Amino acid sequence: ETGVTQTPRHLVMGMTNKKSLKCEQHLGHNAMYWYKQSAKKPLELMFVYSLEERVENNSVPSRFSPECPNSSHLFLHLHTLQPEDSALYLCASSQDLLALDYEQYFGPGTRLTVT
Amino acid sequence: AQSVTQLDSQVPVFEEAPVELRCNYSSSVSVYLFWYVQYPNQGLQLLLKYLSGSTLVKGINGFEAEFNKSQTSFHLRKPSVHISDTAEYFCAVKTGGFKTIFGAGTRLFVKA
């Protein structure tokens, strides 16, 4: 595998379910991100990790819980979601958190539908 | 606060025609500017970036963008588009810290 991978690619869950999204980066990067992409809205930054430490929790509801066990893996644990949480969830990584000239590398996303 | 405005939500264009996707930003400090492309069912990938130096930046797939500081713009252009260029394009800006501010996206639809 190369780049940034995400599993599952599609997820349908009920409002009372618990599920997890997984992201893995094979680039040796130090920073990882979770974004939410909804139709006709800009990307919303949810969480940022640098060297496995969370540096940003962007007013995200507690029903979303991130976990970064090492610099290559990032999880998003989901529980008691709402229908408005249906969206594409994108994981990204970058070489360094603060260097301005480094771009982000994105995974293909998980399309989440909450029923 | 920094912001990015993509002036067109959708741009339909015929194959082999030129295209320009517009992006304006607001910032009181120096900026680093990016264009990303998102093909259907995929994540975003970098097309090009402006960090400093020449204001005309060339990227992948024949795209280029011009940084205009006085007009705070970073428009993306391609002289002749292909069907395969159909995608969503995002302009983004970084000014400091770790946040990248993305625009709402422009959907380019190339017609045969």
What do you get for the CA distance between the two ends of chain A, in Å?
Answer: 32
Rounded Cα gap, residues B67 and B56, in angstroms: 6
Instruction: Locate A76 and state its tokens.
Output: 């998003």
Q: How far is CA B80 from CA A103, B17, B63, in A?
A: 26, 5, 9
Q: How far is CA A83 from CA A20, A76, A89, A112, in A?
A: 17, 17, 14, 10
pLDDT in tens, A81-102: 999 999 999 999 999 887 777 8
Q: How high is the pLDDT of residue A70?
A: 93
Predicted confidence band of residue A1 (pLDDT cuts 50, 70, 90): low
Cβ of A90 within 8 Å of Cβ of B103? The answer is no
pLDDT in tens, B13-36: 999 999 999 999 998 777 899 999
A101 closest CB neighbour out of B32, B97, B104:
B32
Give yes or no for a contact between A43 and A51, defined as CB atoms under 8 angstroms apart: no
- Stated length of chain A: 115
CA of B2 vs chain A CAs: smallest distance (Å): 14
Q: Which residue type sits at B16?
A: E
B98 closest CB neighbour out of A40, A41, A98:
A98
Q: How high is the pLDDT of residue A56?
A: 78
Q: How high is the pLDDT of residue B30?
A: 79
What lies within 8 Å, CB to CB, of B42 at 6+ separation is A108, A109
Cβ of A101 within 8 Å of Cβ of B97? The answer is no
Nearest CA in chain B to A49: B98
Q: What angle do CA B66, B46, B2 make, to 5 degrees?
A: 65
Per-residue pLDDT of chain B (112 residues; tens, 9 = 90+): 778 999 999 999 999 999 999 999 998 777 899 999 999 888 999 999 998 888 999 999 999 999 999 999 999 999 999 999 999 999 999 877 778 899 999 999 999 9
What lies within 8 Å, CB to CB, of A69 at 6+ separation is A52, A75
A108 closest CB neighbour out of B36, B41, B102:
B41
Q: How high is the pLDDT of residue B8?
A: 94
Predicted confidence band of residue A2 (pLDDT cuts 50, 70, 90): confident
Residue B70 three-state SS: coil
Q: What angle do CA A47, A75, B103 make, to 5 degrees?
A: 40
